[in-house]
Chains A and B, each alone.
Chain A
Amino acid sequence: MRGCSGLTFSRIRPRGFTMFARRGALLFEPQWGQVRNMATLKDITRRLKSIKNIQKITQSMKMVAAAKYARAERELKPARVYGTGALALYDKAEIQPPEEQARHLIIGVSSDRGLCGGIHSNVAKAIRNQIEQLTAAGKEVKIAPIGEKLRALLYRKYGSHMLVMFKEMGRKPPTFGDASVIASELLNSGFEFDKGSVIFNRFKSVISYKTEEKPVFSFDTLTNSENMSVYDDIDADVLRNYQEFSLVNIIYFSLKESTTSEQSARMTAMDSASKNASEIIDKLTLTYNRTRQAVITKELIEIISGAAAL
């Protein structure tokens, strides 16, 4: 009895043998014949077929993600120029929010679809850290998750902080119209935030992305910032329009970066899944052949010994 069964039956010592043997016989006898070969030919065939199907699926998902990634990267180029242009004012005027700002809004950008590596969890982790920091400092924090996956990750612990959430992201590439819908919902939500931040995955290359944060300043911060007086001929109306427009721009920029990172991450994830599946298929095929040869040999032996007994 080879130890391939891995059952204790073969290792039981004679001391308690009779009792154990009986119990062992009751417990193990039905399985004995079936686990003898570690798995029958049928089991291995079944497993092999299902893994081959999975490999086909992951490969086609990789192709789809590659096509979507190519398009997303193409659309990212002008969006990046647009986004850096929109943020240029904040960089150059070096607007700092006042220290005692009490109300924060965190916008987390992600999507509805999974199987993309660590995209959603990275954003969720960054948001969690920020919320902990801010609540420890006594500030009021609200979050606006974009994407079902992000909402699901944050809902259990921070459900009370959620202001508004956005679904149906990830199926089609984001447009400026989507960004303006999001921005108008946030502005109409009634939460007058002093400072906001957008947390998203910035696309660095096909194999890497980085979770980053970009600030969003409220209308009051802009009016009261000292550097703003450098800018001539601004009235409150113009400034409010300008601030709302830059909110849309920042959201649009982060949506574009986020989709590109997501598609590239999904491409790499599906690629490694297909590679893993091929490895398992190779190993299983070898086991299958070995098992097939063992079954044939066993049958031959039985026939021969049966014939010899006559």
Chain B
Amino acid sequence: MFAAAAFRSIVRPKQLHLARAALARGYAEAAPSASTAAKMSFTFASPTEVFYNEASVKQVDVPTLTGSFGILPAHVPTLQVLKPGVVTVFDEEGAQTKYFVSSGSVTVNADSSVQLLAEEAAALDELDITAAKANLDKATAELSSASGETERAEALISIEANEAIIKALE
């Protein structure tokens, strides 16, 4: 991944210049701009709750539509859309905290700041596996009895979310 980034930076020096310029114009909490590689400013929030606000963490694993990947400081900038699954946050000491997210977006900027915006997020211990299984059965029943496109899509989304919850809790 880093080799690819280095290659890209050679091939497209303009982008590197922009990235450097973006680094120089980064926010104050990105620490001294020389050592941004060591720190990642991580913001993880849902509309009703903030989990991390510009915190310094070591690594974050996110489930996206294109697959699950881990974000470390100095990750290449990217935008991704989340799918239902588990987000694992490894903080400075290496302790892991897991959250379940329903959907949302993740942005990795050039100055190593990461914004993880989830539509609904809950810590794993707030979820109940029996309720999830019951919801999954209900959603499967709705899928078979669904009439229109939107209803089918809603049932499929419900199934996907509940399956992810069950997988996360097991």
Nearest CB of A to B113, in Å: 7
Given A89-B107, A230-B110, A233-B78: 14 more A-B contacts, CB < 8 Å? A78-B45, A79-B47, A79-B48, A82-B45, A82-B117, A85-B116, A86-B115, A88-B115, A92-B109, A92-B113, A93-B109, A229-B12, A233-B76, A242-B79
Q: Which of A232-286 contact B (CB under 8 A)?
A: 232-234, 237-239, 241-242, 245-246, 249, 252
Name the contact of B49 in the complex, choosing from A78, A86, A233, A249 (C-beta under 8 A). A78
Residues on A with C-beta less than 8 A from B107 are 88-89
Q: B49 contacts A85, CB within 8 Å?
A: no
Q: B81 contacts A88, CB within 8 Å?
A: no
Residues on A with C-beta less than 8 A from B109 are 88-89, 92-93
Q: A78 contacts B66, CB within 8 Å?
A: no
Nearest CB of A to B77, in Å: 5
Residues on A with C-beta less than 8 A from B12 are 229
Residues on B with C-beta less than 8 A from A229 are 12, 15
Kindly state whether residue B166 has any CB partner on chain A within 8 Å. no
Kindly state whether residue B68 has any CB partner on chain A within 8 Å. no
Contact (A234, B79) CB under 8 Å given A86-B115, A88-B113, A93-B109: yes
Q: A92 contacts B81, CB within 8 Å?
A: no
Bin chain A's interface residue count: 20 to 34
Kindly state whether residue B88 has any CB partner on chain A within 8 Å. no
Contact (A82, B66) CB under 8 Å given A230-B22, A234-B79, A245-B105: no
Interface on A for B, CB 8 Å cutoff?
75, 77-79, 81-82, 85-86, 88-89, 92-93, 175-176, 226-227, 229-234, 237-239, 241-242, 245-246, 249, 252
Sample of 28 A–B contacts (CB below 8 Å): A78-B46, A81-B43, A81-B50, A82-B47, A89-B107, A89-B115, A92-B26, A92-B109, A93-B109, A175-B47, A176-B48, A229-B12, A229-B15, A230-B22, A230-B77, A230-B110, A231-B77, A231-B79, A232-B8, A232-B76, A232-B78, A233-B78, A238-B65, A238-B81, A245-B104, A245-B105, A246-B105, A249-B117
Residues on B with C-beta less than 8 A from A233 are 66, 76, 78
Kindly state whether residue B119 has any CB partner on chain A within 8 Å. yes
Residue of A nearest to B106 (CB): A242
Interface of A is mostly: helix
CA A239 – CA B46 in complex, angstroms? 20
Q: B115 contacts A242, CB within 8 Å?
A: no
Q: A252 contacts B47, CB within 8 Å?
A: yes
Contact with A along B37-61 (1 / 0, CB 8 A): 0000001011111100100000000
Nearest CB of A to B30, in Å: 10
Residues on B with C-beta less than 8 A from A252 are 47
